[in-house]
Amino acid sequence: MIEITALTKSYGTTTVLDGIDLVVEEGQIAAVVGPSGAGKSTLARCINLLERPTSGAIAVNGQDLTRLSRRDLREARRQIGTVFQSANLLRRLTAAQNVALPMRHAGLPEQEVRRRVGDLLERVGMVHRANHYPSQLSGGQRQRIGIARGLALQPAVLLSDEATSGLDPESTRAILDLLTELRDDLGVTILVITHEMDVVRSIADLVAQLDHGRIVEQGTVADVVRRSDSALSRALLPMPPVPVDDDLRAWSVRYEAAAVSPVWLAQAGRELDTDIAVLAALVEAAGDSRVGRLTLGLDPRLDDRRVVEVLGRHGVVAEPVEGAVLRAVPAGSGVGAA
């Protein structure tokens, strides 16, 4: 597990990280998100002690890395593998030689190195590219080799610093599936640094938003989406814009309960004695539950308090979109009504 406590990193008078507290349990995938300059990459470098924190503690599997001597730290770093945005492979080494590099630096016997390289290349699906150089590999293939190299010393923790940035959707999906497989099969704890919300929704158990060096919101993905209408919540589960007219009143709805019935809209429509137009909706799995956001169109003559009360009984939070009404749904348009 990773336990970060009151972590601060300053360069002269500039504070880049300011009192970071974050816990990632063993076998979890956590994502740290935030705009450019928020301190995400500095956090990653502090976790693997490529950068020394100004203050605070970073513990991996109960061992505070900030208190170790230089020699002990070299040994402890073996618990942490890192995958960088561009894979950072040495261009004059083959894929197999890149994967072997950390093991050779650590002084492992050559027979053990060869065995592990073969196992790792097989795990990431790159045995057939073992003797290829980085220039002969696609971006996704280079990242697979980077992941294999990150696992070379059998770490307990894997840091992924923007590892899918710049990849096409198919390669991104393959890398995310691979990271999830590593978590499930090997029990590796994974910390993903990313600006891509699709990545967070796809694989993360936890999410933390970093802004100006501070964590401003964190929690499980499902909890963050359900408990608030924050900027992070909306980014994790965005809604498309809906055209405006003068027939139906717009309502913004968010799943709040962990379990919402799949037929709640039909039930709510019967209770309100009205049709409910679904103008936009996004409902996804998050862990063992579902999260959702919808834009509904309701008869503007309905009492607001009654709407809030009825919809609330079904485990959702409903708010009228002030000043907005939605156009009626044309027959056969494919937009649902209950």
Q: Would you call 117 helix, strand, or coil by DSSP?
A: helix
Secondary structure (DSSP) of 288-300: TEEEEEEEEEE-T
Q: 148-165: buried (b, 16+ CB within 10 Å) or exposed (e) per residue?
A: bbbbbbebbbbbbbbbbb
Tell me the CA distances in angstroms from 195 to 32, 33, 285, 307, 314, one per residue in order. 8, 5, 20, 37, 33
**Residues paired with residue 201 on neighbouring β-strands, in sequence order:** none
- Contact (CB, 8 A) for 216 and 235: no
Question: What's the residue count for the chain?
Answer: 338
**Residues paired with residue 326 on neighbouring β-strands, in sequence order:** 244
Q: Is 21 exposed, middle or buried (0-12, 13-18, 19+ CB in 10 A)?
A: middle
Q: Would you call 230 helix, strand, or coil by DSSP?
A: coil
pLDDT at 13: 92
Taking residue 93's Cβ as centre, other Cβ atoms within 10 Å add up to 14
pLDDT at 22: 95
Does the pTM surpass 0.85? The reply is no
pLDDT at 328: 40
Q: Is 111 exposed, middle or buried (0-12, 13-18, 19+ CB in 10 A)?
A: exposed
Q: Which residue has the tokens 């494919």?
A: 334
pLDDT at 326: 45
In tens, the pLDDT along 154-184 reads 999 999 988 888 888 888 888 899 999 989 9
In tens, the pLDDT along 36-77 reads 888 998 998 899 888 889 999 999 888 899 888 888 888 888
Tell me the CA distances in angstroms from 47 to 9, 81, 130, 273, 337, one per residue in order. 11, 11, 30, 56, 50
Q: Tens-digit pLDDT profile for the chain (338 aa)?
A: 899 999 999 999 999 999 999 999 999 999 999 888 889 989 988 998 888 899 999 998 888 998 888 888 888 888 899 888 777 899 999 999 999 999 999 899 999 999 999 999 999 999 999 999 999 999 999 999 999 999 999 999 999 988 888 888 888 888 899 999 989 998 999 999 998 888 898 899 999 999 999 999 999 988 898 887 888 988 888 877 766 656 888 899 999 998 899 899 999 999 999 999 998 888 888 777 788 899 999 999 999 999 999 999 999 999 988 755 444 434 333 333 33
